[in-house]
Structure 1
């Protein structure tokens, strides 16, 4: 399967072009010329002017004829394109891929026994561990009750982004599906960085692009953002409608792994729904589990 981001311009050029198309002259305080624009967004010369660089240099960056730039130039372009912190970090990652790879290091084969024990011992808290591309590597009983019998799933289907789009149970359960799905695409894009030709990522993005129009649209828009906490509204067939607060914690020993914890204030109806879910999971014989990391 062809790499999902195969383009003569490369990812850096595609990202700059996409972001430029989303910014209007009014957004950055430029006067309209009175002439209709052939394409939406800023012109290349306007971005160059705002960033204080030559039009030729910016054009070569966007066309893929230059594949890197200094950090001051990238920050200037980021300011011109109104990038947020996540988007700016992504821009630098695309222009300096060797630095990003060095910082990330390689993924470990599995979740540590200590983290597995932590998940298993958590009460009233659905919890799981996800790898770099959101493959679910370990989970506790409540997470299995929430997302489905994870142990029974095909290992390569046990992926949070894939489940958000293609698993009927998860998709129906997320009341605020569109918001959660866009967050998932954005987080995957940021996690991918310049490694879009990695076999596991190519397989995942290729399948989702073929099977879901929303994913394909949002992926090509280069949505880039990340959230480490939030709240989700759920509609579970057993526990009914309730909300959970979620928090993402990065594993110190392996930056490619993250622990996701979901909770609700004790004594309230949302917490009661989690307790109902846990009692049902125990009757169903669901348990915590772990798996090896799929090939990168």
Structure 2
């Protein structure tokens, strides 16, 4: 018998009664961690690289994601993700488990399975692909506020409705696919929007702190995880700011824009929550009384001499 055979009997059985691959004295949590690691590893190695927009590796291999690739998409370190696949005694948060599940593109049943293995109770998680239609009276409120720009956002800051002045301020909002009309995405990835914000560094971080404060318990949901994963990949500025973990409560404040047609615009930003549609927040930009902004607002509307 060689040293490599020590302790093993026929058919892989050990003399201490534990089979090869089992953890001696292992409890249910250990077995769950091992199963979780094996399951994630299997899904990662079977992933289609083309679906992630990634080139083949090695000798033209088109399947299999690297650990560092999934770790990057999920916002965790490679070492930590490696430990997760190895079944180490670590305790991932639900947010992390959801992030890994979403970035491995697990289906609903698989997602619930890894939540269960991680000690979390799966819960219904409806994920609309785009904001649904807003109630007619909310749209009427937005239209009534013209020529002051105004818009309505969903809990994940998807822009669900707006008035003509807001479209004049941000023309891309009307042409963007509905699933891409997100306020954070506009601020961090749209160069037109960035150019209009002279205090972009301050404004973008204020928005992010307010979003984080409002997200609260929704941070474990797939809609939030997808948004953060997408913006981490699309914007290094977002990734750096998100990792600062700033949390800010919304407060009315002045907003300043440099519009290519209307010039400098100074607004007081206000937020309203309709009592009969509390999932929507209406944000209005009211012209500052002493800035001359009110006289330039008609330039944002269709049919103006320079629009």
Q: Is the pair's TM-score, using the shorter chain for normalization, greater than 0.5? A: yes
What's 1:243 paired with? 266
SS of alignment partner, residue 188 of structure 1: helix
Distance across 1 between alignment mates of 2:153 and 2:274: 10
Q: Is the 1:245–1:264 Cα contact (8 Å) retained in structure 2?
A: yes
Q: Deviations over 1:35-88 (max 9, x none)?
A: xxxxxxxxxxxxxxxxxxxxxxxxxxxxxxxxxxxxxxxxxxxxxxxxxxxxxx
Cα deviation, residue 109, structure 1: 4.0
SS of alignment partner, residue 282 of structure 1: coil
Superposition pairs of residues 143-292 of structure 1, within 5 angstroms: 143-266=166-289, 268-278=291-301, 281-283=302-304
Superposition pairs of residues 12-161 of structure 1, within 5 angstroms: 109-161=132-184
Cα deviation, residue 152, structure 1: 1.4
Match of 2:93 among 2, 5, 10: 10
SS of alignment partner, residue 231 of structure 1: strand
TM-score (norm 1): 0.58
Cα deviation, residue 12, structure 1: 9.8
Q: Highest relative contact order (Cα 8 Å, sep 6+), 1 or 2?
A: 1
Report the structure number with the largest CA radius of gyration: 2
Distance across 2 between alignment mates of 1:116 and 1:142: 13
Q: Deviations over 1:94-142 (max 9, x none)?
A: xxxxxxx9xxxx9994311111111112232101000111100000000
Q: Is the 2:150–2:163 Cα contact (8 Å) retained in structure 1?
A: yes
Q: Which moved more, 1:128-137 or 1:146-155?
A: 146-155
Distance across 1 between alignment mates of 2:171 and 2:276: 28
Q: Is the 2:132–2:160 Cα contact (8 Å) retained in structure 1?
A: no
SS of alignment partner, residue 195 of structure 1: helix
Distance across 1 between alignment mates of 2:263 and 2:269: 18
Unaligned runs of 5+ in 1: 14-100, 287-296
What's 1:54 paired with? none
Distance across 1 between alignment mates of 2:303 and 2:133: 26
TM-score (norm 2): 0.56
CA 1:265–1:194 in structure 2 vs 1: closer, same or farther (change >3 Å)?
closer
Distance across 2 between alignment mates of 1:165 and 1:233: 17
SS of alignment partner, residue 234 of structure 1: strand
Q: Is the 1:128–1:143 Cα contact (8 Å) retained in structure 2?
A: yes
